[in-house]
Structure 1
Amino acid sequence: MKILIIEDDKVLGESLVEYLKMEKIEALWLHDERNLANVLNVYSFDVIVLDLVLKFSRGEDLITYIREKGIETPILILTAKKDFSNKEECFLRGADDYLIKPFEPKELVLRIQALSKRKRLPFIMNIGDIIINIDAKTIKRGNEELKLSKTAWDLLTLLIKRRGEIVDNETILNYVWAGKAVGDEVIRTYIKELRKILPEGAIENYKGRGYKLS
């Protein structure tokens, strides 16, 4: 699971990233919300955790911005604002959950997990004679379950989320390898792995640009 944390409190932001890592949740922490547009153009997330009180923007306005971009990722508000009017505004703008500071870290994890399931449950899709169950993380041809490495699965998940779009190499590297020092050649390796099980022509290559799941 990959989530985005938008929080300008550096102590809290660092603590959240470390805690979530122990819970096997990968978090990208954004302490300057002015970089949000660039982040959303490059990365894809399962949940967005958003503070309302930020240095340069109102969190409420960022909810509207995210939704107007057509991004349906669940948004969890994490804030010290506890008036009902604050909650009402956030939900009307498109937020999915609201947690008041101070909070129990375990509760945050449980809410994140619940939101990530709400996004796409159940999610089964067919590509030719291949049946892919995103939630169960299985790929079948008829009754035969096909094996796939974790890295190839992460790449397939991204292509499914963005199906019909050309996903550029930078986005793939950031999503699958989380900023590790790897190059485009590693993408080709795992594209080959996917092509071995998917129908011919399912993944299109746009030279110098990226890949698209048809």
Structure 2
Amino acid sequence: MKKLEVLVVDDDTNLRKFVTAGLEDLGISIVSAANADEAEVILSDCPSINFMLLDVMMPGRNGWEFLKEIREAGNQIPVIFLTARQEVNERVKGLKIGADDYIIKPFEFQELLARIEAVARRRSGSNELAVADLKIDISERMVERAGESISTTDQEFRLLRVLVEAEGAVVSRPDLLKRVWNLDFDPGTNILEVQIARLRRKVDRFERPLIQTVTGQGYKLADQPRP
């Protein structure tokens, strides 16, 4: 997927800080705005922004009005509405205006991240990811290597998906704990190392291992000859 640069628009300062901290911890670029007027200026000045998290009820123009305006102007940036309003007709209204998804406040960061990733995948037109001869299908939750199907647990699949999506970059231990287990702290156990070992037994039993340990940094997937 293309590297994300996210704009979060919400008049709730604490929510903006919560979302900003979570995404920045994952290396995702993010800027914030308190209202539609600020967001409009940012979108004009920063054409590299390619994703927006948009509050519905804000002072001045609300999220529905702002999204309708930018869609009519031809801006097709992916948008997820953030709202405390749970009525079905309001969610339908937002989707008809042109939102890609809706998330109800309060929400867990892990759910927000999953929705961002899902929208980004849909917009890219691909549910299949690959590294060398390893392929994973996100929608079907299937893994295969060298044409052979590999059975994984939910945690193993989430861990493998994060590594594949990193496209060869190192993913740190804190990032993996956050994205796979939704932990913002080190639990002081070897849960990550245990899952990596289990994943290696399944994924790296082929001619060329893929899962690499980068000492002092984390893990990455890359095609490499077996020692």
Change (3 A) 1:208 1:94: farther
Amino acid at match of 2:178: N
Match of 2:155 in 1: 151
Aligned residues: 183
Match of 2:190 in 1: 185
Identical aligned residues as a percent: 19
Match of 1:16 in 2: none
Distance 1:34 1:172 in 2: 21
Unaligned runs of 5+ residues in structure 2 are: 1-6, 102-114, 223-227
Q: How far off is 1:97 after superposition?
A: 3.3
Match of 2:173 in 1: 169
Pick 1 or 2: higher relative contact order, CA cutoff 8 A, min separation 6.
Answer: 1
Amino acid at match of 1:209: Q
Q: How far off is 1:148 after superposition?
A: 0.6
Distance 2:44 2:179 in 1: 24
TM-score (norm 1): 0.61
Match of 1:195 in 2: 200
Distance 2:45 2:20 in 1: 9
Cα deviations by residue, 1:15-69 (Å, 9 ceiling, x for unpaired): xxxxxxxxxxxxxxx8253465542232489xx9x88539xx944567689974x
Q: How far off is 1:192 after superposition?
A: 1.2
Distance 1:183 1:90 in 2: 51
Change (3 A) 1:169 1:143: closer
Pairing partner for 2:55 from 65, 78, 82: 78
Q: How far off is 1:170 after superposition?
A: 0.8
Amino acid at match of 1:31: N
Give the conservation status (yes or no) of the 8 Å contact 1:133–1:139.
Answer: yes
User: 2:141 matched to 1:137?
Assistant: yes
Aligned-residue Cα RMSD (Å) equals: 4.4
Q: How far off is 1:172 after superposition?
A: 0.8
Distance 1:206 1:35 in 2: 29
Match of 2:220 in 1: 212
**What SS class does the counterpart of residue 157 from structure 1 fall into?**
helix
Q: How far off is 1:135 after superposition?
A: 2.1
